[in-house]
Structure 1
Amino acid sequence: MKKSILLGLSPALLLLIAVGCQKENITPSASSNHSFTTKAQVNNLRVWHDNGKQPGVDGVDYGCWSTGGNCLPDVIVTPKLSQSLTAFAFSSSQAGYASANYSTLSSVISTSVLDGVIGGELVVSIRGSITATAPGYLTFTAHNQDIKAVYPFKTN
């Protein structure tokens, strides 16, 4: 009888021990030194290329190719969201625009990148137009001209 009770309690005890020993999730504190991409992301991302020719041809004069960069995968957005992204890039107050439209923009742009714009660490610009046939690229650049992230967007 004692043996069957112990055998019945063993799985429950193991479960309690396993749950009790799980590591605690620690959220890093906010700082002004944002990490906009992780090392794992960089290995899977394409490289942003831009020879500066205006207006240029997507895939020839500018675009994302190769690996190991800061250019994220293409994202398909609605025409309405496309207009919002374009307005963000052309806004005279990008920090204000990002704050006012945070929930909409954060559906397709990392919150750390948006926080960088709001904090004045990053500036957004657009290369090309967001259409169904070719992507428009939102680039997020630090004040030292280092491009931190590139988001290619197409419409559906």
Structure 2
Amino acid sequence: MDLNPLVEQNRPVTAASAGGMALVEHLDELTELVGAAGPAYVRFSAGPEADAQGTSRDGESGATLPGLSVNRLQPEPWWDRPPRVWVARQLMQYAHLGAGDGRVAWVLTGREVGRGPDSEPLVADVVPMALLAPGVLDEAVSVYRENLATGRLPDGP
């Protein structure tokens, strides 16, 4: 998967455009935020104001989902690598959704209310926490490539 276009197409985010939310500019800063926040999620969309209605729609069926489609940023208990690598991997799993169309990556907390069609968490009672500057995705691409075997299939039983 070529990840460079994902970073290049992301809308520029500055402190002025963050709308009062924190602006995370480095992957380590995001990893610290995730460690301190409890369950935190990333969403790639037009931003918190655009998502204020609190639901997502399944693109294939058109069904309204009971919450926002997100990706969890906390490492699972079985994860045996640095949390920074997990966060980078989670950003890369859905970063293609942030490419173009004025979308940004933002971090939120909320209550899990179900699973979406790709088994992603659906979150309600959303509290926006921070916007991610494009440099965070640049760093995530590097960490992802340096630490993980991208595209490798799991070993058999």
Q: Same fold (TM over 0.5)?
A: no
> Which structure has greater helix proportion?
1
- TM-score of the superposition, structure 2-length normalised? 0.28
Under a length normalisation based on structure 1, what TM-score does the superposition of the two structures give? 0.28
